[in-house]
Amino acid sequence: MAATELTLHIDALTYGPYGVGRKDGQAILVPQTAPGDEAEVRIVEQKNNYAVGEVARLIRPSPLRQTPPCPYVGECGGCPWQHVQYETQLGAKEKSVEDALRRIGKLEGFERLPILPSPKEYYYRHRIRLQADNRKRLGFHRASSRELVEIGSCLIAAPEVGRRLSQAREWIKVLKTQIRHVEIVQGNVDGAVVLVGKAEGAFAVEDDPACTGFLQRSGEATGLILFGRAWRRSWGQAKIGLLSEDGFKIESDGEVFSQVNREANAQLARELLQWGEFGNQDCVLELYSGAGNFTFPIARRAGGVTAVEGDVRSVENGKANSALHGLTNIHWIRSHVPAAIKQLRQKKEHFSKIVLNPPRSGAKGLEDDLAALGAEKILYVSCNPPTVARDLSALSRRGYRLTRVRPADLFPQTFHIETLAEMARI
């Protein structure tokens, strides 16, 4: 494209921090735009089959726009859709899921159920991760950059989490250990808030008394955790209490992964349990189980659950909570998932139902072993439409049919979307 500036009509939001329009048949991706915008756009990057632009001037703003309430919009890369009305965000997320399944997965004949909106559009994150730099500033990265944008507040953080931002900043200033990022994590049972620092290198021994003293002085956070490669230290009460969708209490170490949007996660869990129709006759395999977000409510309904997870501390937490509540029908396996299911296949194990919730990279290469385990139903939870489309397509060539899909919004103001998909054996 010869011209470096052009007038562009934005047609839709695309999966990513962009609005998209077309000029002479070429897609042009432009951040901070909304469907219906007419803008003067400057091309900043030319690719083979698309271009990336930036807004030089907004000629006619879309009626679907809203004024972002956050003062860091345009700098911080964390909420790239905050300028778009929430209903429009939801529609774009539904479309991104359906487009990926049909275009990438070549899947047809399934029911796409309406998206589950988040109960909260703001103040929903019960854990946030703040990047740290060598000047001991805390914030988020600028969009498409490693440059730090220091923040003093965050409108998607839960109130108790947001109130600890200044405390987290004070904490890293007393540390000698070099910190890569800090998480502020809140439980939803007893109000516990834990500060978690991930270190670049070794633990500085001076930080032991420094953290003890800081915790005593601050009187706000209930616990502190520092960890690095092959080491971990904690001070105070470093666990949080979490309630599952059916009121089951789980105790979790602060650094162990838990869903950031607890209310929306509960909605998704209820949907999964309804679709699974788990009963005493079911022998369930759960892959990428974490510390038990879905495991425990499934185990309270099913005959037995084999839960596979690679993270050591997540499995330790899972086992401890199983023992605490007397759940003896969960078999925890600490293993890399591909190795575990290959071994289960070699042992000729069979399961009535399989639940998996892989990372963003998906479950590529697992389809043969999954199909060999004989499950009548596979429930796949994903946070990445392109990889779930790829994986479901692979399963559809191995004796399964995609029957229904339900998007769920766990991440308002962003393009990220969770998806629950059901595959039934043909």
For 424, the enclosing helix (H) or strand (E) is: strand 418-425
Is there a single domain that holds both residue 287 and residue 415?
A: yes
Is there a single domain that holds both residue 271 and residue 391?
A: yes
User: What CATH code is carried by the domain that includes residue 44?
Assistant: 2.40.50.140
* Sheet hosting strand 26-31, strand order edge to edge: 5-9, 38-46, 50-60, 26-31, 18-23, 12-14
For residue 91, the SS3 value is: helix
What's the chain's average pLDDT? 95
Q: Within 10 Å of residue 215's Cβ, how many Cβ atoms?
A: 19
For residue 51, the enclosing domain spans 5-65
| Residue 272 within any structural domain of the chain | yes
Domain's final residue, options 24, 49, 65: 65
Q: pLDDT of 115-136, one tens digit each?
A: 999 999 999 999 999 999 999 9
d(CA 397, CA 345): 19
Catalytic residue IDs:
383
User: What CATH code is carried by the domain that includes residue 234?
Assistant: 2.40.50.1070
Domains of the chain: total = 3
Q: State the pairing for strand pair 50-60/38-46.
A: antiparallel
| Residue 72 within any structural domain of the chain | no
* % of the chain exceeding 90 in pLDDT: 92
Is there a single domain that holds both residue 233 and residue 140?
A: yes
Indicate the DSSP class of residue 415.
S
Across 168-207, b (16+ Cβ under 10 Å) vs e yields bbebbeebebbbeebbbbbbbeeebbbbbbbbeeebeeeb
| Helix (H) and strand (E) counts in the chain | 10, 23
Is there a single domain that holds both residue 223 and residue 204?
A: yes
User: What CATH code is carried by the domain that includes residue 396?
Assistant: 3.40.50.150
Q: Residue 301 corresponds to which tokens in the numbers above?
A: 């309904």
Q: pLDDT of 217-254, one tens digit each?
A: 987 889 999 999 999 999 999 999 998 877 888 999 99
Is residue 41 scored above 70 in pLDDT? yes
Q: Token pair 């309430």 is at which residue?
A: 69
Is there a single domain that holds both residue 326 and residue 389?
A: yes
Is there a single domain that holds both residue 132 and residue 228?
A: yes
* Sheet hosting strand 223-228, strand order edge to edge: 148-150, 138-141, 127-132, 179-186, 193-199, 223-228, 231-236
Residue 1 confidence (pLDDT)? 44
* % of the chain exceeding 70 in pLDDT: 99
Which pLDDT band holds residue 144 (cuts at 50, 70, 90)? confident
Is residue 2 scored above 70 in pLDDT? no
| Residue 14 within any structural domain of the chain | yes
d(CA 217, CA 323): 35
Is there a single domain that holds both residue 11 and residue 43?
A: yes
Judge whether 181 and 175 are in contact, CB under 8 Å.
Answer: no
| Residue 344 within any structural domain of the chain | yes
Residue 283 confidence (pLDDT)? 98
Mean pLDDT check: name the lowest of 4-8, 143-147, 270-274. 143-147
Backbone angles phi, psi at 349, to 5 degrees: -75, 150
d(CA 355, CA 299): 12
Is residue 63 scored above 70 in pLDDT? yes
For 402, the enclosing helix (H) or strand (E) is: strand 400-408
Is there a single domain that holds both residue 400 and residue 302?
A: yes
3-state helix, strand, coil in the chain (%, to 5): 25, 35, 40
Is there a single domain that holds both residue 181 and residue 296?
A: no
pTM score, whole prediction: 0.94
Is there a single domain that holds both residue 178 and residue 300?
A: no
